[in-house]
Amino acid sequence: MALVYRKQLDNRTAFALWKIEETVEELLAQLQLKAHERAYLDKMNEGKRHLHWLSTRVLLRKMLNTPVYIDCQIDEHGKPYLINFPHHISLSHSFDYAAVMISEGKEVGIDIEQISSKIERIANKFMNDSEMEFITDKSRDEHLYACWCAKEAVYKLQGKKNVSFKDHIRLYAFQYNEFGKFNADLNVNGIHRAFEVHYEKFEDYMIGYCAAPEYGK
């Protein structure tokens, strides 16, 4: 397919969505992969995992608008980062879509999820009691997905393991609309960080994203 949605958040921060309709071969043809990356793909089960990994890399190339090799590495916590570009990045995927967020100067986090009624069954695993109190019956599934994507975005931005969505990430009450923003706090290991998290519905998917202040500000 190609890039289907792009949103510029400021002059150095943006995110975009890619609808995955290509084959593995068609996506591979748009990338310059090194031997270790091809070896990683060879170990991966074929199917959606292949397509998700490749499509996030193709979308990253489109957003950076470069013909050169992009050295994208994963740190010990599983957070992706770039060796030969100054941008912070965050990657996500769900079913037929891949999402990438990039920024020069700001840590970022993004999550995309296909909306389903199954979210209700696991809500108490990632929402605390005070958060469940502001979830309304109208658009309940969407409201819960906005919360899940927000917490996932904060988790990806901070980039460390051993963070509990329920115990360490707190969301402040907000009324659900098809797009909006609200405040969130991360409190873990004596560290407190505050974020403004944005969300929006895209077709039958929910997107949550956030960007931290630039370093030194």
pLDDT tens digits, 176-186: 999 999 999 99
DSSP 1: -
As a whole number of Å, the CA-based R_g of the chain is 17
Is 123 a residue whose pLDDT tops 90?
yes
The stretches of the chain forming alpha helices (DSSP H) are 24-28, 35-43, 48-64, 119-126, 129-132, 140-158, 165-168
- Averaged pLDDT score across all residues of the chain: 94
CA distance 14 to 63: 8
Share of the chain above pLDDT 70, in %: 98
Amino acid at position 208, single letter: G
Q: CATH 3.90.470.20: which residues of the chain?
A: 2-105, 111-211
DSSP 92: E
Pairing of strands 179-188, 169-171: antiparallel
Angle at 162 between CA 192 and CA 47, to 5 degrees: 125
126: tokens are 């990632």
- The domain made up of 2-105 has a fold known as Ribosomal Protein L22; Chain A (3.90.470)
CATH of domain 111-211: 3.90.470.20
How do residues 126-149 score in pLDDT, each as one tens digit?
A: 999 999 999 999 999 999 999 999
Q: State the pTM of this model.
A: 0.95
